[in-house]
Structure 1
């Protein structure tokens, strides 16, 4: 068994150098024993950069991380505060390309901090809760440090590569971070019910994180023989597996297996995932690959947005002049859903923001994350706008119908000015 070092004996000077880019695990896969030590020792190291994904922890507060520059592929959960403070410099790249960019050196990784589950029964350690771009970065990094967590599940599809060089293994001081999901309010529940109507029996579902995805999953409890091929798996998907709704029997590939790139959930999900051959934690070249997605049966890709305009253009990145979202896997799954036999692309969002004072259906988005040519179904709490095959004028009419009533008149004026009719 590999030797484990206590974090109290680790001096990060020399392992992390000034100017380095440090890649850390995201979400529940964050190696928190290491990231907390990194922040605590930052002034001894000298100024360096941390590349972030989804952040659930309090490891990187804006007022307690001076001396660290932050980049990342978006602003999620706790990293939104860094973005609002002007501390996060986002990388506008689809999730599918991150893996290749770290693998081929377009993005330079110097130090990689990974949380892993111990090797079991003669098998190597497992990447456990995330098989994402960090492993591609680790192959090219100068320094790779593993945080070995006894409470992390050993997951299939995520065994640590045999040829990966590891410089240090540290004993985890805490279990993986729990993510219990979001509170589903009345608006989210209405949206979830509309989206569920677009999911046929036997469909393969992709979902994200947040109140609307959780509401969609709750609304799918009456469906049968669903499959999961998604960037994210959470406790709400586990609910559907345990209820017999998700069987993965009709996916067209990976029969009987739930496929996900990251696991964001609680101990209940971790216990389910441990050594479970019916769950595969797969890398982006599997979970987000265009050819793989096109080969799935009836893939319904369900994604969110900050705002959508009258032509179906989607902004999922910027609100109020601040970067508070991401491109993420949206373009990968939108086009994957459209390429799948019987598949769909669904963008779901509340009709308003800031207590109903701002419409999220707008005349024209200033920042386009997904173009109008890929628009299929847009859903708010007021209904479904089917846009595929519609002209601009017809799209505008349908989008106005799912906007909040108090904004429809202004939107109609904007549509008339832009498209006539």
Structure 2
């Protein structure tokens, strides 16, 4: 890998993943690169998991606190969680093994807005950071580190860590160099200055990570692919939801509130966002832009079709076929894609300034517009809040999207009161299911409820919701947000007791 590790001092630090893992001590705090299944270290975490497992077999305590950009992949979260090796996890995860360890109490989980975590680490809210472990596509002769398929929190981890471990992965394309835009202008008041972005295509930083050579203790050579799963075929419900959202955007253009080419687009990961992107691909819209967290397959299709001029994000979330396509054609895509630190991709100041159009998934919404995006039945963590709050609170228009039911119709996504609140009614503008769309802008709670029930609830649950609302309106003394507190969570308790929210 001499061409990938061009700096002689860095070449002298090349070692095996096992030798690098031997440097880690019990209760170490480690900042890992990675955001979605992209750009995370791939050889070091399994080696560390092996070391932790051996320590546990000897009866020794050994856990580490794991910080990342967002979710990673089985080689990181899954391996370390599988040996009970994670004491604290933050700020976001989506691995089944990690989720299980959080929900059974083995690991603590601090679920934090992605835009805020870098600042909290930088200012010492989590204490000392012992190690940063990041992935690079190359190290230049002068020691600059070129990131791979995500940026996430890499820059702040490198800045604050006492020691740094770098995986140089030659599976990642060298042509990614030039796609990144690393901003180093963060400061606390009164020294903070505005972030100088007025268009999604603005570049404000450097194309490499600044890495103090004296802090690098190990370099590991790897050749491992990113581990994002293929996207499922877009189902009928996702197509319907996407259609409602795109029709809504068309009406906003007709009302003169948006330009013909819309405003910068943001979307979460999954079937529904890809259905929206597919709808845009087959529309007559051109010169679109995106200011979002992740670049998905549908975004690549829009770039290929000449419909998106520029897309700004912090990471890729590409299926294996599209990841290969990116590797082959990175020199082309770096003219249309900018990867930034998540403190910038998710920054409230920039989101508000650009007028971003936000669309994110949810687990459930209640009849007044409060949204739960993290906890099933109020207690069981799914993934985390991620960046949904960053965009929802600050977007020009924010929408929440979901199928109207789950578990084969046994769970309603529209309930009397959400079992956990991530986004309050004050931040929810639009709710969309395959049943329809509820535009909640300018409506008081008692005006919202009938619209959400009528437009978004599944027919199997409409009558039950209407009955609850009408009785709450009649029997509750206070009329601003009427609730029957002795019944508000009866739907959730009924599911836990009987396996369905429906009345038998």
Instruction: Give how far 1:388 is off.
Output: 1.1
Q: Does the Cα contact within 8 Å between 1:72 and 1:88 map onto a contact in 2? A: no
Measure the CA separation in 2 of the matches of 1:58 and 1:197.
41
Please state whether the residue corresponding to 1:369 is helix, strand or coil. coil
- 1:346 to 2:372 alignment: no
Unaligned runs of 5+ in 1: 248-256, 339-343
Instruction: Give how far 1:6 is off.
Output: 4.2
- 1:308 to 2:393 alignment: no
Query: 1:197-346 alignment to 2 at 5 Å?
Result: 197-200=247-250, 201-203=260-262, 204-221=264-281, 222=283, 223-247=285-309, 257-265=310-318, 266-274=323-331, 276-297=334-355, 299-320=356-377, 321-338=379-396, 344-346=397-399
Q: Does the Cα contact within 8 Å between 1:184 and 1:215 map onto a contact in 2? A: yes
Paired residues in the alignment total: 405
Q: Does the Cα contact within 8 Å between 2:86 and 2:107 map onto a contact in 1? A: no
Q: Does the Cα contact within 8 Å between 2:370 and 2:423 map onto a contact in 1? A: yes
Alignment match, 1:253: none
Q: Does the Cα contact within 8 Å between 2:137 and 2:147 map onto a contact in 1? A: yes
Alignment match, 2:24: 16
Instruction: Give how far 1:168 is off.
Output: 1.6
Measure the CA separation in 2 of the matches of 1:350 and 1:61.
32
- 1:168 to 2:218 alignment: yes
Alignment match, 1:54: 71
Instruction: Give how far 1:163 is off.
Output: 4.4
Measure the CA separation in 1 of the matches of 2:75 and 2:465.
41
Please state whether the residue corresponding to 1:372 is helix, strand or coil. coil
Please state whether the residue corresponding to 1:184 is helix, strand or coil. coil
Shift of the 131–75 alpha-carbon distance from structure 1 to 2, 3 Å rule, reads closer
Please state whether the residue corresponding to 2:21 is helix, strand or coil. coil
Query: 1:122-141 alignment to 2 at 5 Å?
Result: 124-141=144-161
Instruction: Give how far 1:123 is off.
Output: 8.0
- TM-score by length of structure 2 reads 0.75
Instruction: Give how far 1:162 is off.
Output: 4.9
Instruction: Give how far 1:417 is off.
Output: 3.0
Q: Does the Cα contact within 8 Å between 2:314 and 2:342 map onto a contact in 1? A: yes
Q: Does the Cα contact within 8 Å between 1:260 and 1:282 map onto a contact in 2? A: yes
Measure the CA separation in 2 of the matches of 1:137 and 1:96.
14
Shift of the 71–163 alpha-carbon distance from structure 1 to 2, 3 Å rule, reads same
Query: 1:102-113 alignment to 2 at 5 Å?
Result: 102-108=121-127, 109-113=129-133
Shift of the 63–332 alpha-carbon distance from structure 1 to 2, 3 Å rule, reads closer
Shift of the 405–56 alpha-carbon distance from structure 1 to 2, 3 Å rule, reads same
Measure the CA separation in 1 of the matches of 2:289 and 2:30.
36
Larger radius of gyration between Structure 1 and Structure 2: 2
- 1:66 to 2:76 alignment: no
Please state whether the residue corresponding to 2:312 is helix, strand or coil. strand
Measure the CA separation in 2 of the matches of 1:347 and 1:123.
44
Instruction: Give how far 1:411 is off.
Output: 0.6
- TM-score by length of structure 1 reads 0.89
RMSD of aligned Cα (Å): 2.4
Please state whether the residue corresponding to 1:198 is helix, strand or coil. helix
Alignment match, 1:5: 14
Deviations 1:98-154 (A, max 9, x none): 010111111232222111110469782222222112321221112210101112233
Shift of the 162–188 alpha-carbon distance from structure 1 to 2, 3 Å rule, reads same
Q: Does the Cα contact within 8 Å between 1:31 and 1:115 map onto a contact in 2? A: yes
Instruction: Give how far 1:8 is off.
Output: 5.6
Instruction: Give how far 1:61 is off.
Output: 5.0
